[in-house]
Amino acid sequence: MVNDPANNFAHVIANIDIANGQGGIDYVLPSRMRTGSAIDAGATPGDAQVRLVLKDASGKEIGSVRPQLRFETCDDGEKPHRALIQQDVELTGDLAEIGLEFKGETIDVFRPEQAEAIDQQFQETANWGLPLPGDPGKLALGTPKVPERAGVSYMVQAKPDNSDQWQTLSVGKSTPEFIVDKNQFPGASSLELRITQNAGFESRTVDKRTIKLD
């Protein structure tokens, strides 16, 4: 169910092979606005065989979307058949699950978890900018001590001190453990970092702090 009214949309990342009907939902991220995925270059019109099906807690269908498909190029000259799906769906109070359907058959289902407070466990075990052995240009961030949970993923964003824009460095990680490459931020002397826990339809900031790069 949707508990956070601030999140108006869910951004669904999925894959599908229309040649054999195999595929799955990779992860779902809450969003306060549309990402513009429906007008990205390279997208083809929604395939009538593929649907994202929205259901309530009783399993009743309350909506559906024919997602845009972004086909991979085939090297052997065959017709492209493997596609990436990046699709926004609007969150409503009744939405409890999102299904990926091909030719009327459900091939995967995403059911969100509740965002869980892991702040103390994270703060007690996390690294913040510890150089990797043998590669001081790369910094360890976060911790592997937080156990994986189905439907929960983590994202890290950064804002260098010579910019006013946040950059997403990694998304969809099953644990809050990341590597930051200092070479991505030329001219910066410090980096503001933000780690977010995503549970499909809701999100929360786990920790936010600034590290030195020099």
Give the model confidence (pLDDT) of 87-136 as tens digits: 999 888 889 999 999 999 999 999 887 666 777 888 888 989 889 999 99
The edge-to-edge listing of strands for the beta sheet with 9-17 is 22-31, 9-17, 82-90, 70-71
Q: Looking at the structure, tell me whether residues 99 and 130 fall in a common domain.
A: no
139 & 160 share domain:
yes
Residue 83 lies in a domain: yes
Average pLDDT, the chain: 85
Backbone angles phi, psi at 62, to 5 degrees: -115, 0
Residue 47 lies in a domain: yes
Q: Which residues pair with 167 in a beta bridge?
A: 158
Do residue 89 and residue 154 come from a single domain? no
Domain that holds residue 45: 9-110
Residue 5's pLDDT band, with cuts at 50, 70 and 90, is very low
Reported as a single tens digit per residue, the pLDDT across 199-209 is 878 888 899 99
Distances from the Cα of 127 to the Cα of 124, 135, 155, angstroms: 9, 16, 16
Tell whether 100 and 191 lie within a shared domain.
no
**Residue 3 included in any domain:** no
Q: Are residues 139 and 208 in the same domain?
A: yes
135 plus 180 within the same structural domain: yes
We report the CATH number of the domain holding residue 171 as 2.60.40.10
- To which residue do tokens 């010579």 refer? 162
Q: Let me know if residue 104 belongs to a domain.
A: yes
The pTM score is 0.70
Which ranges in the chain belong to alpha helices (H)?
119-125
Comparing CA positions, the residue from 70, 182, 100, 175 lying closest to residue 135 is 182
Give the Cβ contact number of residue 58 at 10 Å. 8
Give the angle subtended at the CA of 97 by the CAs of 29 and 30, to the nearest 5°.
15
63 in a structural domain: yes
Give the DSSP per-residue string, 100-115.
Answer: EEETTEEEEEE-PPPP
Query: Does 205 map to a domain?
Result: yes
Total domains, the chain: 2
Q: Are residues 45 and 123 in the same domain?
A: no
